[in-house]
């Protein structure tokens, strides 16, 4: 019996690029291969076992043999395995901040400007 996901996909194949599916898969098609704007299955028709998404374009995906970690726009990536990723994101800890003196310039009436010093916690 065909799963609901695949039945929905088979009805709308013009939206999907299934060229990375195994050739014997019933949805396999090279018709939309490398076409911009088509949805591509990153797991190659394998159902995910674990997924941890922290924000857009920052996630970890485990499908048994296939493991993918993505952190686009992040300068420092952790090298932990997907199995080490917690089931839910950790709670944020309160940060102790540093105190800086900042000079703030305020516009006043007319062309006069007023400068004042403020202490802020970062």
Evaluate whether residue 27 is within a structural domain.
yes
Mean pLDDT of 29-55: 91
pTM: 0.54
Domain that holds residue 7: 1-42
Higher-pLDDT residue of 13, 74? 13
pLDDT tens column, 47-98: 899 999 988 888 999 998 888 888 887 765 555 554 555 555 555 555 555 5
Q: Could you tell me which residues come within 8 angstroms of residue 12 by beta carbon, excluding any fewer than 6 positions away?
A: none
Q: Does position 33 have pLDDT exceeding 90, yes or no? A: yes
Q: How would you class 21 by CB atoms within 10 Å of its CB: exposed for 0-12, middle for 13-18, buried for 19 or more?
A: middle
Evaluate whether residue 3 is within a structural domain.
yes
Evaluate whether residue 25 is within a structural domain.
yes
Evaluate whether residue 96 is within a structural domain.
no
According to the model, what pLDDT value does residue 113 have?
56
Evaluate whether residue 89 is within a structural domain.
no
Q: How many folded domains does the chain comprise?
A: 1
Evaluate whether residue 50 is within a structural domain.
no
Residues in the chain: 122
Evaluate whether residue 23 is within a structural domain.
yes
β pairing state of 58-62 and 67-71: antiparallel
Q: Does position 40 have pLDDT exceeding 70, yes or no? A: yes
């Amino acid at each position: 019996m065909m799963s609901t996901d695949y039945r929905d996909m088979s009805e709308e194949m013009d939206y999907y690029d299934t060229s990375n599916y195994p050739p014997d898969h019933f949805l396999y098609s090279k018709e939309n291969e490398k076409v911009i704007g088509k949805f591509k299955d990153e797991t190659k028709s394998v159902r995910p076992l674990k997924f941890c998404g922290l924000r857009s374009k920052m996630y970890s995906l485990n499908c048994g043999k296939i493991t993918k970690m993505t952190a686009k726009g992040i300068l420092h990536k952790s090298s932990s395995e997907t199995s080490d990723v917690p089931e839910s994101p950790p709670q944020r800890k309160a940060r102790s901040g540093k105190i800086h003196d900042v000079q703030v310039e305020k516009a006043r009436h007319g062309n006069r400007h007023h400068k004042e010093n403020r202490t802020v916690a970062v």
